[in-house]
Amino acid sequence: MTKSIPVLTIDGPGGAGKGTISSLIAKRLGWHLLDSGALYRLTAAAAIKHAVALDDEQGVAALAQSLDVAFPVGEGGVRTLLEGEDVSQLIRTEQMGERASMVAAMPEVRTALLQRQRDFCQTPGLVADGRDMGTVVFTDAPLKVFLTASAEERARRRHLQLQEAGMDASLPSLLKEIQARDARDTQRSVAPLKPADDAITLDTTRLSIPEVVERLSELLAQKGLASVD
């Protein structure tokens, strides 16, 4: 990480609003965006595509090291390509999120993806969205935020998101999946999900997206990093 390049890390559990907030802040600042969760989802998708068992740590790590991915921006927004194939919708399913959580618990996979994530740190700045951005990947980041929300609220948001996408989903099932993933992410031996010691925790349960963006804008201004107009 280059210390002269400002980095905002936004960590937290799934459904806390990290992706939406991170993309809005990055777009308004004109900074680069790292969606680290997408890299783990893509690794899981690559393992399935190449018939590598998800419990084969060395095999999955080898795929992660040579992952052929791209995030082209078009009129419809950002697309996610795996080996030239558009997997934007595929990697956002709850099932793929579960698989991503499994491979993210593997030390060799995390090591394989570490430098790839740090390479996203380029001028004029970076917004890094994930679960260990502030605790492991960008430990020197001048501003670290940990977004959270109740499991019930995160399940409700995910349920609404899936409904809007025309996908069927059971709210009770989503809640159980989120709780199981939280347990796995917080209890794993490598890079467990937790706020960095110097992170600012922000509970978004009762906050709207504009309210969260406004709060982060204030924090950025207080740190002298940027002004989000």
- The reply to whether 20 sits in an annotated binding site is yes
And the tokens for 209? 């997206």
- The reply to whether 144 sits in an annotated binding site is no
- The reply to whether 15 sits in an annotated binding site is yes
CB atoms inside a 10 Å sphere around CB 90: 17
- Give 56-65 contacts, CB < 8 A, sequence gap 24+: 57/106, 57/107, 57/108, 57/109, 58/108, 60/103, 60/106, 60/108, 60/109, 61/106, 61/108, 61/109, 61/111, 61/112, 62/112, 64/39, 64/103, 64/109, 64/112, 64/113, 65/112
- The reply to whether 194 sits in an annotated binding site is no
- The reply to whether 17 sits in an annotated binding site is yes
Task: State the angle between helix axes of 171-187 and 94-104 in degrees (0 to 180), rounded to the nearest 10.
Answer: 10
Listed in sequence order, the DSSP H helices in 50-106 are: 57-65, 94-104
- The reply to whether 224 sits in an annotated binding site is no
- The reply to whether 13 sits in an annotated binding site is yes
- The reply to whether 166 sits in an annotated binding site is no
- The reply to whether 141 sits in an annotated binding site is no
As annotated, the binding site includes 12-20
As annotated, the binding site for ATP includes 12-20
